[in-house]
Amino acid sequence: MSANPRTNRTPVILAVVGVLVAAVLAAVLGVVLTTGDDDKDDAGENKSATGPKSAIRVVDPATLPAAVQPDGVIRVGSASAPVTVTVFEDFRCPFCKRFETGFGPLLADYAEAGKIKVDYHIASFLDGKLGGTGSVKAANAARCSVDAGKFAAYHTVLFTNQPEESEDGYTAARLLELADQVPGLRGEAFDTCVNTDANAAWVSAAETAFESSGVSATPAIAVDGKILDSGNSAMRSPDNLRELLDQRLENPGSGKAALGEEPQAPSAG
């Protein structure tokens, strides 16, 4: 773990039962992850300065390809997609679940359409904050699912079934149970990979890369290498993020993403 503690964007109470009982850890969520209706008209249609937009398509995540990149990120979508969205997540982070619930369908739609590719940086720092091994084990299992060709679908299942943040619920048995929800994922290779923590070195390297990236909390989002800070309206709703992505697609280099910060280039090996 990093010498500089990584704090999640939700208040957390850590209870250590023993001779001493300490309650420590509060953080402010810098990114506003709300899915308000500010960008909808009376009929509920998405709208923008250029007029109504079509509804976000419901995409089966099982159709989305994923591959581990040389720097260790897990890329979903086509490498030739013109815009890159980078997502920093920890599977035990409740605000990451909120982000995936609200913004995930947009990312899946645009990735399936070839408009964007999504690079996932999987962190596991919450084990150090909360105790247990759930973040590490979930990260390992997610990496196992890449080899099985099922990452996007399994990633969705893990966040949909996320345990309470303080509960160390991502055990090997639970991760295999959740894998049953992804057709074709279970098998000797995947089960062994999960049970033996076969990707422990990758998980450790991914956490080290996260700690050196300049990102201090999860979820964090970058568009074409520029971190969207808490003041960027693109983080307030999927419609706003969609507007930003459309601006980037129509005119590379434009849009609110240019106001962000560029993280250091991590390498997870």
Give residue 172's region: left, alpha or beta (phi > 0; psi -120 to 50): alpha
Confidence of residue 259 (pLDDT cuts 50, 70, 90): low
Q: Which of 34-48, 206-220, 224-238 bottoms out in mean pLDDT, i.e. has the lowest?
A: 34-48
Who has greater pLDDT, 10 or 129? 129
76 pLDDT above the threshold of 70: yes
- Averaged pLDDT, 65-73: 96
- Averaged pLDDT, 34-52: 46
What is the DSSP secondary-structure string of 151-179?
Answer: HHHHHHHHHHTPPPTTS----HHHHHHHH
190 pLDDT above the threshold of 50: yes
Domains of the chain, residue spans: 61-259
10 pLDDT above the threshold of 70: no
Give the global pTM: 0.79
Query: Residue 219 in contact with residue 31, Cβ under 8 Å?
Result: yes
pLDDT tens-digit profile of 145-188? 999 999 999 999 999 999 998 899 999 999 999 999 999 999 99
- Averaged pLDDT, 27-53: 46
Q: From CA 69, how far away is CA 67, in angstroms rounded? A: 6
- Averaged pLDDT, 229-241: 87
User: Pairing relation of β-strands 116-123 and 83-90?
Assistant: parallel
Residue 146: other Cβ atoms inside 10 A = 22
Print burial letters for 1-13: b (CB count within 10 Å at least 16), e (below 16).
eeeeebbbbbebe
pLDDT of 222: 94
> Of the ranges 4-8, 164-168, 257-261, which is most confident?
164-168
pLDDT of 123: 97
Q: What is the share, in percent, of the chain residues with pLDDT greater than 90? A: 68
pLDDT tens-digit profile of 77-127? 999 999 999 999 999 999 999 999 999 999 999 999 999 999 999 999 999
Q: Which of 28-37, 128-137, 182-191 bottoms out in mean pLDDT, i.e. has the lowest?
A: 28-37
- Return all residues near 26 (Cβ < 8 A) that are at least 6 apart: 11, 12
Task: For residue 192, count CB atoms less than 10 angstroms from its CB and return exposed for 0-12, middle for 13-18, buried for 19 or more.
Answer: exposed
- For the domain with range 61-259, which CATH number is right: 3.10.580.10, 3.40.50.300, 3.30.1330.60, 3.40.30.10? 3.40.30.10
DSSP strands (E only) in 224-266: 226-227
- Averaged pLDDT, 12-22: 33
User: Pairing relation of β-strands 226-227 and 116-123?
Assistant: unpaired
Give the CA distances from residue 51 to residues 40, 56, 236, 243, 256, in Å, rounded to whole numbers and listed in that order. Answer: 11, 15, 20, 11, 19
Confidence of residue 232 (pLDDT cuts 50, 70, 90): confident
